[in-house]
Amino acid sequence: MTTDSYMFGRSADELHRLARQGALVEPETEELFLRSGIGAGMHVLEIGSGAGDVAMLAGRLVRPDGRVLGVERSADSVAVATGRAAAAANVSVRFEVSDLNTYQPSGVFDALIGRFVLAYFADPPGVLKRLASSVRPGGVIAFMEFDVTCISSVPGAPLFQNMAKWITRAFEGSGIDPALGSSLGAVFRDAGLPWPYMTSFQKASCGPDGFYWLFAETVRTLLPHIVRLRLATADEVDVETLADRLRDEAVATRLTAFSPRWVGAWARKPVPSN
């Protein structure tokens, strides 16, 4: 990835955040994979596995005879993912520790998938091209990526606007494209793949039961970068109360909060003509 470590770290809190975020977008992730053609019996390569949510979702889709290989650079994350997969019923998923900057799959796969991973590489099209070389002709490449510049509220409100700015600028200041999802079509083309089919969505919430935790937990994991870049002090962020303050502001101003834009893209690897 762009540095020697994932910018969010690999703590238990971060794995919990990823699992909670993953549950929020699981229906759309499953729809993306189904639309792309992932189904029973396929051999799938999944990259940037984290705690294993995407790999296990794919594992359920390829039952009963398919299998999934998840690749992740963090041994701690792989240990967690392996334990979760072992506890799941009738899902053929295994995980491998490897640096995806240099990883070259040894087998041939029916599909290559990932979620919220390409933005963390210095050369997303180059990584995608290298890994797609292990997908059979006619196989599937499907990814979901983010655009955090689309975090917003209607009406605008001071704390919400500051929070959105902290997140976007923390990505920018760490050399990561905060809007890569919205350029996913160009990433596919630059990787030598066909123009992909694309979809996008945002989650919206309002009132006291909204998903303010999504923003607060993201800020929590980005806090070292926010402070390093002098976007705000830790006291100004006050991350322990941030979710509650966002909720209170939302209720007081009757705002609707919008998540990042999440973008899905899929294509089939061309079959050489005779």
In this predicted structure, the answer to whether residue 266 has a pLDDT above a threshold of 90 is yes
Share of the chain above pLDDT 90, in %: 88
Domain span at 18: 12-268
Whether 5 maps to a domain, the answer reads no
As separate numbers, helices (DSSP H) first and strands (DSSP E) second, the chain gives 9, 10
Q: Is residue 3 part of a domain?
A: no
Scan for tokens 């053609």, then name that residue.
37
The answer to whether residue 273 sits within a structural domain is no
Per-residue pLDDT band at 10 (split at 50, 70, 90): low
Q: For helices 75-87 and 53-61, what crossing angle results, to 10°?
A: 40
> How far is it, in rounded angstroms, from Cα 168 to Cα 77?
25
Whether the pLDDT of residue 114 is over 80: the answer is yes
For residues 226-244, average pLDDT: 98
- List the one residue out of 25, 30, 66, 22 whose CA is nearest residue 48: 22
Q: Which of 145, 190, 153 is nearest to 171 (CA)?
A: 145
Please compute, for residue 70, the number of CA atoms within 13 A of its CA located in the half-sphere on the CB side.
Answer: 31
> What angle (nearest 5°) sits at the alpha carbon of residue 61, between those of residues 144 and 78?
65
pLDDT at 2: 41
Q: What is the CATH number of the domain that holds 232?
A: 3.40.50.150
Q: Does residue 1 carry a pLDDT above 70?
A: no
pLDDT of 14 reads 79
Give me the residues paired with residue 141 across strands.
Answer: 112, 267
135-147 and 261-268: which strand pairing? antiparallel
CA max distance for the chain: 65
Give 132's contacts (C-beta < 8 A, 6+ positions apart).
112, 141, 191, 192, 193, 269
The pLDDT tens digits for 60-103 are 999 999 999 999 999 999 999 999 999 987 889 999 999 999 99
**Residue 206 in domain:** yes
Tell me which of 14-23, 30-39, 176-185 is least confident: 14-23
| Residues 213, 217: Cα–Cα separation, whole Å | 6
pTM: predicted TM-score of the whole model, two decimal places? 0.93
Q: Is residue 6 part of a domain?
A: no
Domain count, the chain: 1
CA distances from 126 to 5, 70, 140, 182, 260 (A): 19, 19, 17, 18, 25
Asked whether residue 188 is domain-assigned, the answer is yes
Q: In this predicted structure, which of 4-13, 126-135, 151-160, 246-255 has the lowest mean pLDDT?
A: 4-13
